[in-house]
């Protein structure tokens, strides 16, 4: 009987030790929250999903070059004379059409190295931290604001401008060469005339 009571006590005591933590938490405030109804407050310098304000992007490629994992892909097309792209919020003149600006956020390591060197402060971390996807391709964010037709138009304008410029350059070079050739011919004729005149002078 004594042994039975001892075992009973040991069982009860062991359960009490096991439940100690549980009992303690019954009387202290909970640290868990009812996510997603309740959202956690994020630290002041949190790093989450990137965003690019394309109105201020000048297409300088500095962010892409700063990225240690090459997850930013930028392509630009130079504007042609007569096109006004406007200026950025901090007064920088825009001269390039940004035709590709992709960030593969699945590769991003949230180092923020692309954010600091941006001359127009248009790439920055947002407070968005819930962006899970089923497809990996959906993690490639396209920030370009031009439509596919507009992209083609800008490329075509630049190509046509370059062709025109090249042909003008070639025409100028040709004209210059012709002028030089004419000058050379003139000089040759002059020196020939001088040589023809000399013997007669000598004869006299
Ligand atoms: S946060 Fe870092 S890894 Fe992510 S895009 Fe910027 S530079 Fe690249
Ligand atoms: S550094 Fe800034 S302005 Fe330059 S391409 Fe990147 S986002 Fe655009």
pLDDT tens per residue, range 43-89:
888 899 999 999 999 999 999 999 999 999 999 999 999 999 999 99
Condensed to tens digits (0 to 9), the pLDDT of residues 145-190 reads 999 999 999 999 999 999 999 999 999 999 999 999 999 888 888 8
Percentages helix, strand, coil for the chain (3-state, rounded to 5) are 45, 15, 45
Q: Is the CB of 114 under 6 A from ligand 1?
A: yes
Query: Between 7 and 195, whose confidence is greater?
Result: 7
Q: What is the pLDDT of residue 54?
A: 96
| The CATH number fitting domain 50-146, selected from 3.40.50.10470, 1.10.565.10, 3.30.70.3270, 3.40.605.10 | 3.30.70.3270
Quick one: residue 188, left, alpha or beta (phi over 0 = left, psi -120 to 50 = alpha)?
Answer: alpha
Nearest atom in ligand 2 to the alpha carbon of residue 88 is: 3
Q: Is the CB of 67 under 6 A from ligand 1?
A: yes
Nearest atom in ligand 1 to the alpha carbon of residue 113 is: 7
Q: What is the pLDDT of residue 198?
A: 62
- C-alpha of residue 57 to centroid of ligand 2, in Å: 5
Extents of the domains making up the chain: 50-146, 147-190
Tell me how far apart the alpha carbons of residues 16 and 12 are, in angstroms, rounded to a whole number.
6
- C-alpha of residue 149 to centroid of ligand 1, in Å: 30
Q: What is the pLDDT of residue 200?
A: 52
Which residue(s) pair with 51 in the sheet?
A: 124
Half-sphere exposure of 8 (CA within 13 A, CB side): 5
Q: What is the pLDDT of residue 199?
A: 56
Q: Where are the beta strands (DSSP E) in 112-186?
A: 123-125, 140-142
Q: Is the CB of 106 under 6 A from ligand 1?
A: no
- C-alpha of residue 140 to centroid of ligand 1, in Å: 13
Query: Which of 172, 166, 154 has its CA nearest to residue 82?
Result: 154
Nearest atom in ligand 2 to the alpha carbon of residue 52 is: 7
Q: What is the pLDDT of residue 204?
A: 44
Condensed to tens digits (0 to 9), the pLDDT of residues 100-152 reads 999 999 999 999 999 999 999 999 999 899 999 999 999 999 999 999 999 99
Nearest atom in ligand 2 to the alpha carbon of residue 74 is: 5
Average pLDDT, stretch 24-45? 88
């Amino acid at each position: 009987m004594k042994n039975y009571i001892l075992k009973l006590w040991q069982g009860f005591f062991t359960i009490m030790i096991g439940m100690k933590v549980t009992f303690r938490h019954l009387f202290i405030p909970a640290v868990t929250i009812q996510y997603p109804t309740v959202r956690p407050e994020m630290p002041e310098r949190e790093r989450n999903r990137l965003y690019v304000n394309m109105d201020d992007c000048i297409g300088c490629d500095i962010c892409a070059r700063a990225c240690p994992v090459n997850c930013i892909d930028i392509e630009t097309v130079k504007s042609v004379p007569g096109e006004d792209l406007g200026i950025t919020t901090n007064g920088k003149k825009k001269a390039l059409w940004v035709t590709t600006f992709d960030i593969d956020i699945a590769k991003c390591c949230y180092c923020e190295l692309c954010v600091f060197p941006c001359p127009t402060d248009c790439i920055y971390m947002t407070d968005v931290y819930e962006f899970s996807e089923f497809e990996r391709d959906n993690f490639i964010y396209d920030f370009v604001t031009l439509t596919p037709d507009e992209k083609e138009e800008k490329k075509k304008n630049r190509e046509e401008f370059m062709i025109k410029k090249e042909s003008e350059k070639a025409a100028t070079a040709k004209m210059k060469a012709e002028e030089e050739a004419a000058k050379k011919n003139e000089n040759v004729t002059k020196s020939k005339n001088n040589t023809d005149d000399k013997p007669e002078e000598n004869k006299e």
